[in-house]
Amino acid sequence: MVRIADVARMANVSTATVSRVISNTGTVKKETAEKVLEAIKKLNYQPNMLARQLRRSETETILVVVPDITNTFFSAVLRGIESVAIENGYQVLLGDARNNVDTETSYLTILGQKKADGLILLTARTDQKILEELSHDYPVVLACEYYEGTQLPTVSIDNVSSARKATEYLISLKHKRIGHISGPLNVVVGRDRCKGFHQAMAKHGLSVDPSLVQEGEFSFESGFNLMMKFLSLEEPPTAIFAGNDEMAMGAVKAAKSKGVRVPEDLSVVGFDDIKFASIFEPALTTIAQPTFDMGQKAMHLLLKIINDEELEKNQFILSDKLIVRNSCKELTIDG
């Protein structure tokens, strides 16, 4: 591959001068510019290669921003990203947004500062327009979270249908009074999982008691507190669909603290299939996301953008799976 340095060598000028001639910026003597253009022609230096080399900062580093580093779900996605990054000579810089939109947005400046060649966001809470504009100048890929109606390259599962599947599993076990501990509704996956829950209930002619839908924070603590709230109702739910595993585990802990047995008295389904889901007591029934594959796919897409290759499409929806373990039981009395 012909590089900018080859052009510079042949024209006997610096690479900065070659860049200035190509981009038509700065002052370059007429004779020097002619020498550079002649070298470009002789070496058949391609315009798209020129554009790429000008735009790339060539740090061989990519930035990944996660919404919450304490959620082990994201470590599995990171493994996938890093495996492809390393294979291709890139190192990964990690940013933890700490569930804070301003912190998330502030990480974007790293691209402008030329400290990374591209960005993978596992969180989509920054203003959509800001990110779309950024993607005109820098390689950007979204994974796990996404924006509605965007052309930004995205890798995720279909959270609505996954949530429907989780809820329908509880319905298949004859539960009717099903509660939902949702994720934050200002986060797209929180909203979509809540939507899937409502769709499944409606599809099976089951009404949703508004007091049985509570908004959590994707944290163990919020799952615990909201389950305590459900348990204080005159007629508590017989089953819970939680928007992620951490909240599901918090709900189980709350139930246990009140002497409510899982799954005998209460069925619980989570979402994510984090490592602890299978170790937890009882082992959690949950929706498994293809975390490693999502990470790998996101990094492959980012590499294509960095290398100016065309993407066959922009939206990639990977398959999820319901993993049935021991936290749910068929309802034997009329619930």
Q: Contact positions toward ligand RIB, by CB under 6 A?
A: 67-68, 71, 73, 144, 189, 218, 244, 271-272
Of 73 and 220, the one with the shorter C-beta distance to ligand RIB is 73
Of 21 and 64, the one with the shorter C-beta distance to ligand RIB is 64
Min CB(108)–ligand RIB separation in Å: 19
Which residue number is nearest to ligand RIB in terms of Cβ? Answer: 244
Of 68 and 82, the one with the shorter C-beta distance to ligand RIB is 68
Min CB(309)–ligand RIB separation in Å: 28
Of 138 and 218, the one with the shorter C-beta distance to ligand RIB is 218
Min CB(276)–ligand RIB separation in Å: 12
Of 186 and 257, the one with the shorter C-beta distance to ligand RIB is 186
Min CB(3)–ligand RIB separation in Å: 40
Of 71 and 327, the one with the shorter C-beta distance to ligand RIB is 71
Min CB(144)–ligand RIB separation in Å: 5
Min CB(153)–ligand RIB separation in Å: 17
HEC readout, the chain: CCCHHHHHHHHCCCHHHHHHHHHCCCCCCHHHHHHHHHHHHHHCCCHHHHHHHHHCCCCCEEEEEECCCCCCHHHHHHHHHHHHHHHCCCEEEEEECCCCHHHHHHCCHHHHCCCCCEEEECCCCCCHHHHHHHHHHCCEEEECCCCCCCCCCEEEECHHHHHHHHHHHHHHCCCCCEEEEECCCCCHHHHHHHHHHHHHHHHCCCCCCHHHEEECCCCHHHHHHHHHHHHCCCCCCCEEEECCHHHHHHHHHHHHHCCCCCCCCCEEEEEECCHHHHHCCCCCEEEECCHHHHHHHHHHHHHHHHCCCCCCCCEEEECCEEECCCCCCCCCCCC
